[in-house]
Amino acid sequence: MWFLNSHKSEIPAPADALPGRTQAMPVTNQHAVSGHVILPPFPEGTRLALFGLGCFWGAERKFWQTGGVYSTAVGYAAGLTPNPTYEEVCTGLTGHNEVVRVVFDPMAVTYGDLLKLFWESHNPTQGMAQGNDRGTQYRSGIYCLDETQKRLAEESRERYQTLLTKAGHPAITTEILDAPAFFYAEDYHQQYLAKNPLGYCGLGGTDVAYS
């Protein structure tokens, strides 16, 4: 996916961001793997989590393969442009990150479990990049739905930094923010690697286990 990106390394100023649109992106309300809904409302008792860890094709698969996850969806968040298209995000002029929204059953999988998967599934030290993918849309981010998620995210970042430092890795660049608006990506991106098993996605990793 990197070939469409202009390799922007900074979030644009609001005056420079693309205007976007009021219409939400239409998506099929059925997960291609689980068959569950990807649009709200979600079942009572489920919770939401939002992560950015590089190319959202591979990142989404990591989460839908996890027990206790009800459904997943990919989209754009933490930028400036409402309801952007993929092509607009790839210009670097929306400020958005490629993200995965996870709907999970906290009785079956905890937010801490999801954080462990997050840290171990990519390299969180690369700034505005992930593997060979370059640009602001590939940055590492945890977007928290409440204060408990934020506390757990910050504690996990500190813990993982200690492990990375011992292994000789640089500082974590992951942003931890209150959850911004989530804009669904185009239908063809949803569960992309389930529909296109030979598709490429450049997620990396550090080979350091979060424990």
How many whole angstroms separate alpha carbon 187 and alpha carbon 189? 5
The single-letter DSSP state of residue 137 is: G
The single-letter DSSP state of residue 66 is: S
Report field, pTM of the whole predicted structure over 0.85: yes
Per-residue pLDDT, averaged over 9-31, amounts to: 96
In the chain, domain spans: 48-195
Q: Does 55 participate in catalysis according to the annotation?
A: yes
Q: What is the CA radius of gyration of the chain?
A: 16
State both tokens at 119.
């840290």
Q: How confident is the model at residue 15 (pLDDT cuts 50, 70, 90)?
A: very high
State both tokens at 159.
């813990």
Catalytic residue of the set 55, 90, 144, 201 = 55
Question: How does pLDDT run across 71-96, given as a tens digit for each residue?
Answer: 999 999 999 999 999 999 999 999 99
- Which percentage of the chain shows pLDDT scores above 70? 97
φ/ψ region of 138 (left if φ > 0, alpha if ψ in -120 to 50, else beta) reads alpha
Per-residue pLDDT, averaged over 152-169, amounts to: 98
**CA angle in degrees (0–180, nearest 5) for 29-64-7:** 90
Q: Report whether 210 contacts 153 (CB < 8 A).
A: no
Residue 1 pLDDT greater than 50, yes or no: no
Question: How does pLDDT run across 47-65, given as a tens digit for each residue?
Answer: 999 999 999 999 999 999 9
Question: How does pLDDT run across 113-148, given as a tens digit for each residue?
Answer: 999 999 999 999 999 999 889 999 999 999 999 999
**Burial status of residue 80 (CB atoms within 10 A of its CB: 0-12, 13-18, 19 or more):** buried
Phi, psi of 115 (to 5 degrees): -65, -40
Phi, psi of 14 (to 5 degrees): -50, -40
- Report the 10 Å Cβ neighbour count for 12: 18
CATH, domain 48-195, list 3.10.180.10, 3.40.50.800, 3.30.1060.10, 3.30.1300.10: 3.30.1060.10
pLDDT for 7: 59
How many whole angstroms separate alpha carbon 120 and alpha carbon 206? 7
State both tokens at 131.
């593997």
How many whole angstroms separate alpha carbon 44 and alpha carbon 94? 33
